[in-house]
Structure 1
Amino acid sequence: KTAASALRRAVGRILPFGSGPVMVKGQGDVLAYLAKCCSPVPGEELVGYVTRGRGVSVHSVDCPNVRNFLYDPEREIEVEWARQNDTVYPVPLMIRTEDHPGMLARLTEAIAKESSNIRQFEAEAVETGMGLIGVVVEVKNSKHLARLRRAIGNVQGVLQVSRRRAGVGGAAEDLA
């Protein structure tokens, strides 16, 4: 028996979960969840990874964990986004700014104008005149995320906007 057929049997034994945001190709509804290490959103290319006893962990193809030493190609499985609805997805961002009065107000205004909600927000002065802001925002898809990042980047005093992704070994439980 090949590793691929064993993998298909293992996936087939995973309990059905109903209509979620992603589907395992050729397997019907199986337990699949979006990996926290890369927080994929609709519009991004996906890869599924069969975990040991926890279903299929779904990653963005450019997730560092997919390429690191924890990844076993034998456990990869094709996944795709299900039909889209009004679901929102949490995406962590890191924003480097100049540190001056009104910066947080301008950032939250820019986020609100793009119809995005803030789920978590943390700000600190990291060096004289500089601030670092970690925020988890809700977006509908990759286009919404791109618009939001542009809007944040256009705020006066914003120096950099990056998507926070766990590095090698970060959120490794998604590959266990």
Structure 2
Amino acid sequence: MGSNEESKLEEARQEYIESLSETMEMYGLSPSMGRLYGIMFFHEDPMTLDEMRSRTGMSKTSMSTGVRALSRLKLVHKKWQKGVRKDLYEAEHDQFRSFVEFFAQQWEKEIQINRKALAKTEQNLKRLLEEEDISPETTDRIRKDLEKLKEAKRYYAWLERMVDVFESGKIFDLVSIPEDTE
């Protein structure tokens, strides 16, 4: 393919790459990570960090940080190729799988963080209830807070079930993947 054709191809891909950049930012990732993922998404072969850096203009440190973050989210995978000594990476092309893994991972973190905080808050509130010099108004407020925490626990139990539905693939029984969009 000539350089003019290559340039036109890159230009045609740019709209989607930029939309990935915006989308990644919506989910708390940097726009540069979205651009990096987009470039890798369209690239035919696994890429080295040097190849990525030359395509994105990112610094080596930013590139390495971005690839590690994308790998953690399972949007990029390390590949092995016989005779190649440098690390190679390629984008995950199964966006359904990426979606499931990304959200399940985020929800699991949310559950872990908040369940621990809920337990500690509940323990502190119950300890306050045991104090002798607490006013009836404060006792009432504590009881209402404990009810709110009970509802929060229900939410995290539901979210845990949601993660199971995603990770087991049952989500695709409930919301099927379209055969073709053309």
- State the TM bucket, normalised to the shorter chain: under 0.3
User: Which one has the bigger strand percentage?
Assistant: 1
Larger Rg belongs to = 2
User: Which one has the bigger helix percentage?
Assistant: 2
TM-score with structure 2 setting the length: 0.25
TM-score with structure 1 setting the length: 0.25
The structure whose RCO (Cα within 8 Å, separation 6+) is larger is 1
